């Protein structure tokens, strides 16, 4: 019970972890923990992202400052399904809590640009835009020695870099969109 408490898990969860370690088995919970630890280590080592309190062991939340009027904060989250096998599934989300109509409009325009660029490059995914929120379904099969956590780390960095470039050049929308395309293709082409 003391060990479970120290590790922030239940007694049965601690027993599962001990047994899995004893037979060198990685449980889905252990794999989720590995993924989120990697994301935290890679994304939060500079001041680009700040880790937020984690609402559950299947979700990780970060925030990043956006250089725009009133310095809004962008929140990113990655929620993964517990059933980790050959394919990692879940959802990536980006949001900004704001009531500013022009900011929401600009944010939606960025999301539509990102979706268009990504869909042209990959054939797309399942996306949702709702006011200031963007979500993308994740279904990732590890290939060519590239892990999910490496790919997700790159995705979050590139998304954030493209968002910041878009808002930097928002006065010239055509150029802002071209910057999003350039950044995406520079990293994922």
- Count CB-CB contacts under 10 A for residue 89: 15
- Helix axes of 101-122 and 173-188: crossing angle, nearest 10 degrees: 40
Strand pairing report for 59-65 and 127-130 = unpaired
Tens-place pLDDT, residues 34-70? 888 888 888 988 878 999 987 777 899 999 999 888 8
- Count CB-CB contacts under 10 A for residue 107: 27
* pTM, rounded to two decimals: 0.83
Tens-place pLDDT, residues 84-114? 667 788 899 999 988 889 999 999 999 999 9
Strand pairing report for 127-130 and 133-141 = antiparallel
């Amino acid at each position: 019970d003391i060990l479970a408490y120290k590790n922030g898990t239940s007694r049965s969860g601690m027993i599962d972890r001990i047994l899995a370690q004893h037979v060198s088995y990685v449980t889905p919970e252990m794999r989720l923990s590995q993924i989120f630890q990697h994301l935290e280590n890679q994304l939060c080592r500079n001041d680009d992202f700040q880790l937020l309190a984690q609402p559950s062991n299947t979700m990780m939340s970060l925030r990043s400052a956006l250089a725009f009027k009133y310095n809004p904060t962008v929140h990113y989250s990655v929620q993964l399904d517990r059933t980790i096998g050959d394919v990692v599934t879940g959802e990536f989300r980006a949001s900004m809590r704001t009531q500013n109509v022009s900011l929401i409009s600009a944010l939606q325009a960025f999301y539509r640009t990102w979706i268009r660029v990504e869909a042209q490059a990959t054939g797309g995914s399942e996306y949702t835009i709702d006011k200031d929120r963007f979500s993308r379904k994740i279904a990732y099969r590890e290939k060519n020695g590239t892990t999910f956590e490496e790919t997700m780390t790159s995705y979050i960095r590139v998304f954030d870099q493209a968002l910041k470039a878009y808002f930097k050049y928002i006065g010239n929308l055509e150029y802002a969109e071209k910057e999003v395309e350039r950044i995406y293709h520079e990293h994922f082409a």
